[in-house]
Structure 1
């Protein structure tokens, strides 16, 4: 099963790692998919430079035909060609001229790297971004004069965080400010009795459809120190007052993101989820943390309730709806067995509660489905597989809207036989009825009797309709994916086999799937003269579809080849022994036995396809067509090209810095298109003829259609 994610040029830390190659080089691949790495959140970094001009004449020919149309078919009406329309001008949400809000000690750094943004119907844009530059002292960051404990937590690294800007007509008229919701070196909300600071935000933030509720994931050091209880820790002797520290990642929410202090920082961010499920009752706040934060719905072998199980990690991006439901994928350990599931918690009760100062909300977590949930029978009455005995061995981060959740659940992620996309109501109960929308026994529209063989995890959902990617038949093509040579140093080294990574034996040499003893043109050699890459397969027959609440319709289908594809890749995960406070820029350090480590998913190449839904017949998607990558629009009948790499950067940005540049990379996510408002992240670069010339630009841009 391909877990879908996309390409970019440089990565924001944690879950990304792009290649240090010219963007144009990256698009000319021998025998397959564009191989540039893309982060799960599609981080857009302003690119390096174009060093090759052989492609220029082809590019100009393509640009001269920018009005060309793409045909598609639907179940309701035939597709007709259309030309590119002239929509309203793009508006700049943020670009490389804007100064990032940060503490005074870190100066006036400007934005330089962006994730795919999210937008709601009101035009509020939320995005993750960082500066270019900065680093630890050993990386040339220098001494800021700050307390060393402060630097030990968050480092003297790039300014990074989650931000919002009001792009409504009123916000634009008022020249609205960029408001930081949380950032490196800002305090983690309560519960936090250690004055812990945020370090990184490893996935893109999301926003509810109508209301301005935002949710993001944050990484940091442990937030809570407490005395161990003898009844829960067997080896403790009576009277032992040993303490432990827990809670190095969480989900954070703001229901009023435009409320800010005089420094431009949001004041109402609170904790929706934290790794405090084992803490139990805390007398300081008169709150039982286990009841709020433990994994719900678990039982012992005798059927009794199992309490105190802690979430290990919340992979992907949390989703939130207008009712204040915050949904997430969660991984955890039951006994010694790793399990997964999709969960939600309502956080609106925090307003006016008796523990408002704690700002953690009162709602408990509920489980929709987990590794012990049996997969529902296939939709087709003539299904060929018997799935009754299978449970969900794999779940993907869910999407929520209007009190409903959709998610992808499979028996096995790598080679799925059973599972599909399911709908469930969030009404305050565990294990609600799952309604299959599409599964691996569903016929693909317009493809005779072919069945879906792969389904993508990126689901864009408005409470009724959901758009998704799928493939059929067994034809595949091979692609070579180069190990990243920029971005997170630990991920680079793990993929490329630089250093030892096993914290116990020191013998593991890195990712076992990496080929380290060959030279290929696509991937630059390292100091030893050899390339580092992995070989993956991609379905040839693939497309985007929408379930409109009643039936499945085709948005766009392709036959993938070297220059046409819907899938993008990124190398992400947590290498062995990589702790939440690791120092970047060095090989892995071995964790001290007392340090709190995050049981995250191991590094691997993850694939993704990207679609964003405004309504059932108003959908954007990303594709590579004829070697050019960009965004296309489907209106229920026709497909229209909106923006592609190679277009003038000045089409997006009216800054003088954008003149004479061309768009180099573009990204969207599942919440990037709401009420016919599209918001994208884009990077621009110059076509240069010498090593001395270089020009970078980028930003986030919004247009109403």
Structure 2
């Protein structure tokens, strides 16, 4: 066992063998006794990174799974002199002999369009190759019933070209007038099970390049306009349609010959095919900042979307959250749209102001951005009422240094050289227990819920169900987890977000339609515990992954919780504190858990988990199959 490998989950929540595993316990919350359940190890810290002997996995993003137990995940190795290894990997858990296999890593050449060569590390200036990936900033997603996988990735500029205007004069003087474009994109494997299958480009920042503007440009804009960034994790359908959020900028003429740059956002999709540039079909829009909200509610008629969230897609449809204002929404909601033309065929499912089932006259005031969708069920987080609590969030102690410094207000702008940082951080509370670490205080809703909307319900009243809640009568304290993310000024957006750092909140859940008598099923991450008024943080919190079913509110099933022995998930999650002792190794406690919106397919649930104490750490990805 590699006792010195300290596990660090790359997730918001905290943070060997084919179909091998250990018996774990699955129990119900405040209900029946627990029953046996088997977890299988997909990958853990004892696995070598494929093609890199002696280099072991060390951290994991939440994984995704399809209905055939094909698991796809992002993972990293521990940092060494050679640098950290990072990539997108997969494993077929239905095949006893299967091994972890890379789908894309930092040695993978970015698929077309890509004509720009760079020196091979360690190869000298005479050895070059086309641009390769350098980071994968979001968790990968997989089609529900197929082996199509989509992921976002960053890389050096991939396309070198001469702009259409201004080149003749410079070229006549013998100067190089070429420029480069394309530093991030959405990439797809349509046949991930095929080891020889090639990646193709689903979306790229080359929309202003003449050769590619009709395919990759922002649809409907003249002149050709490229996208700026693709926030979040793109979704992929069984038939190879990738759906994603994208931001872009339009230029509007102003008085006096000036121009005004206006940032916009939207939800888009593209049907991808094998071959050059992912085929010839163009990116299509579903909704943008110019789309009128179809159910304005408390907003004025004609109000357009000010915010859109990364979508989920299945069975020829997409769902997404669209609001008038992300920070203080007054209208908007959850929308369903067909992946077809014409655009903006939006069907409102749940709106801000919708009555909360079983809560009298209370209505939804907040909606979470992360939707899980299986073609029938839509799972989401929501909040209601005005009651709030204060939660203190301390600046991260690990991760990207520029981001840590920005949060702690000791960041030096690399362009101007001036010091600064997050204006919302509190850094002069000298009596705080963690000073000089800065913090911010957030208001969190007391009344939160895990909801499922059934698009196949016979009546509107039967469509929306509340399956778990916080607050009075609720089992849990919180469904919301926080992460400090973004790119400080002048750092180039190394994580691909291109937005200033701030605390961002998310709730984590996944749906999968069950048998006809109990079709509503949602797995979700939740926290139990109390906030200490003096310190502003949770005291001895317990995070867990739970299963709720419906249509009725039956007992909640505990799948796994922090504090439980790590051997419930992984027989290798043990620590031998004294190598010379005859005592058996002791189990490491589970310290962190994570799941994402594509983590529950058919009866399969896949999660990421970390185990450890101060002396040792362990982690991995684990799969279980729920009994019918």
TM-score range, shorter chain: 0.7 to 0.9
Post-superposition offset of 1:634:
1.1
Give the corresponding residue for 2:559.
642
* SS of residue matched to 1:291: helix
Give the corresponding residue for 1:131.
77
Q: 1:225 to 1:552 in 2, by over 3 A?
A: same
Distance in 1 between the 2:170 and 2:368 partners? Answer: 47
Partner residue of 1:704 out of 605, 621, 625: 625
- Alpha carbon RMSD of aligned pairs, Å? 2.5
* SS of residue matched to 2:286: strand
CA contact (8 A) 2:28 2:556 kept: no
Q: What do residues 23-61 of structure 1 show as CA deviations (whole Å, max 9, x unaligned)?
A: xxxxxxxxxxxxxxx53xx686xxxxxxxxxxxxxxxxx
* SS of residue matched to 1:619: strand
TM-score by length of 1: 0.75
Distance in 2 between the 1:331 and 1:442 partners? Answer: 29
Post-superposition offset of 1:114:
0.5
Give the corresponding residue for 2:58.
112
TM-score by length of 2: 0.84
Partner residue of 2:400 out of 485, 488, 508: 488
Distance in 2 between the 1:220 and 1:119 partners? Answer: 26
Give the corresponding residue for 1:606.
504
Give the corresponding residue for 1:533.
439
Partner residue of 1:663 out of 562, 570, 590: 590
Question: 508-517 or 437-446: which moved more?
Answer: 508-517
Give the corresponding residue for 2:32.
82
Give the corresponding residue for 1:200.
135
Post-superposition offset of 1:431:
2.3
CA contact (8 A) 2:7 2:619 kept: no
- The answer to whether structure 1 residue 333 and structure 2 residue 252 are counterparts is no
- The answer to whether structure 1 residue 625 and structure 2 residue 528 are counterparts is yes
Give the corresponding residue for 2:49.
100
Distance in 2 between the 1:605 and 1:581 partners? Answer: 17
Q: Which runs of 5+ in 1 are unaligned?
A: 1-7, 13-37, 45-64, 71-80, 135-140, 142-155, 262-266, 282-288, 299-305, 351-355, 583-597, 689-693
Give the corresponding residue for 1:60.
none
Post-superposition offset of 1:67:
4.9
Give the corresponding residue for 2:93.
167
Post-superposition offset of 1:187:
1.6
Post-superposition offset of 1:664:
0.8
Q: 1:639 to 1:215 in 2, by over 3 A?
A: same
Q: 1:614 to 1:519 in 2, by over 3 A?
A: farther
* SS of residue matched to 2:215: helix
Aligned runs of 1:474-553 on 2, under 5 Å? 474-501=386-413, 503=415, 505-507=416-418, 509-519=420-430, 521=432, 524-525=434-435, 530-549=436-455, 550=457, 551-553=463-465
- The answer to whether structure 1 residue 377 and structure 2 residue 377 are counterparts is no
Aligned runs of 1:169-568 on 2, under 5 Å? 171-172=95-96, 175-194=97-116, 195-230=130-165, 242-260=177-195, 267-281=197-211, 289-298=212-221, 306-335=222-251, 336-348=261-273, 350=274, 356=275, 358-377=276-295, 385-427=298-340, 429-501=341-413, 503=415, 505-507=416-418, 509-519=420-430, 521=432, 524-525=434-435, 530-549=436-455, 550=457, 551-559=463-471, 564-568=477-481
Post-superposition offset of 1:655:
2.5
* SS of residue matched to 2:403: helix
Question: 631-640 or 555-564: which moved more?
Answer: 555-564
Q: What do residues 661-681 of structure 1 show as CA deviations (whole Å, max 9, x unaligned)?
A: 111111000000111111000
CA contact (8 A) 2:231 2:497 kept: no
Distance in 1 between the 2:493 and 2:500 partners? Answer: 14
Post-superposition offset of 1:619:
1.3
Distance in 1 between the 2:343 and 2:271 partners? Answer: 16
Post-superposition offset of 1:238:
8.4
Post-superposition offset of 1:82:
3.5
Q: What do residues 467-507 of structure 1 show as CA deviations (whole Å, max 9, x unaligned)?
A: 1000001111111111111011121111112232262x333
Distance in 2 between the 1:90 and 1:11 partners? Answer: 19
Q: What do residues 514-535 of structure 1 show as CA deviations (whole Å, max 9, x unaligned)?
A: 111114656x33xxxx221111
- The answer to whether structure 1 residue 569 and structure 2 residue 482 are counterparts is yes
CA contact (8 A) 2:8 2:610 kept: no
Distance in 2 between the 1:101 and 1:468 partners? Answer: 36
* SS of residue matched to 1:494: helix
Structure having greater relative contact order (Cα 8 Å, sep ≥ 6): 1
Give the corresponding residue for 1:695.
616
Q: 1:126 to 1:495 in 2, by over 3 A?
A: same
Distance in 2 between the 1:573 and 1:500 partners? Answer: 16
Q: Which runs of 5+ in 2 are unaligned?
A: 1-5, 16-24, 117-129, 252-260, 458-462, 514-518, 530-540, 576-585
Q: 1:293 to 1:508 in 2, by over 3 A?
A: farther
Post-superposition offset of 1:568:
0.3
CA contact (8 A) 2:487 2:494 kept: no
Distance in 1 between the 2:389 and 2:623 partners? Answer: 35
CA contact (8 A) 1:82 1:640 kept: no
Q: What do residues 544-579 of structure 1 show as CA deviations (whole Å, max 9, x unaligned)?
A: 011001410111111189982111000011111112
